[in-house]
Amino acid sequence: MKTKRGKLKYFVAFIFVIAILHSVFQLTFFTPGFLGFYERGISGFSVGKTDLGDEIESEPISPLSRILLIAEWTLLIMGVVFLTLKKRSEIKKEILGIDLKKYSARGKKTELDTLYNLLREKKSLHITTIAKAFNVDKALALKWAKTLEEGKLARIDYPRFSEPEISLRK
């Protein structure tokens, strides 16, 4: 499951880079009234020699470029929305699969012990999942995770575009 999500993240990142490059290219070379790098190079006159208030005559962007720009940005937005919704559904499934009574019935008395028993079975959990399962706020769940990390029992991963995740140290 993680490899599919990882591939999708790379695809969305790729589409994002293409959309940015295409937008910059479109603005730099084809926007009317904007003398881009092609005409002037990089200088103080790259916007042209027009007085303030003068209207710049505009030529329409080609229909193909307009369609490509709209398609790229639509695909990018749809990918981000899809990833966000998928992440939320994974967290909900993760929470539904947790029965705290099962993990606290092993003779352990603290919630941190219960969390460690839960982590031993699940191998990794998101901080939001821990917070919702134990009915505490995320700051306290992260503090518990840091305590386990300091005891060299677990490891906290901080992904770039997601929330922290705690995993059992091997």
Q: Please check whether residue 62 is in contact with residue 70, taking contact to mean a CB–CB distance below 8 angstroms.
A: no
Which parts of the chain register pLDDT below 70? 1-6, 28-61, 101-108
Identify the pLDDT of residue 44: 47
- Using CA atoms, how far apart are residues 96 and 132, in angstroms rounded to an integer? 10
Note the pLDDT tens digit of each residue in 96-129. Answer: 777 776 666 556 578 888 888 888 888 888 898 8
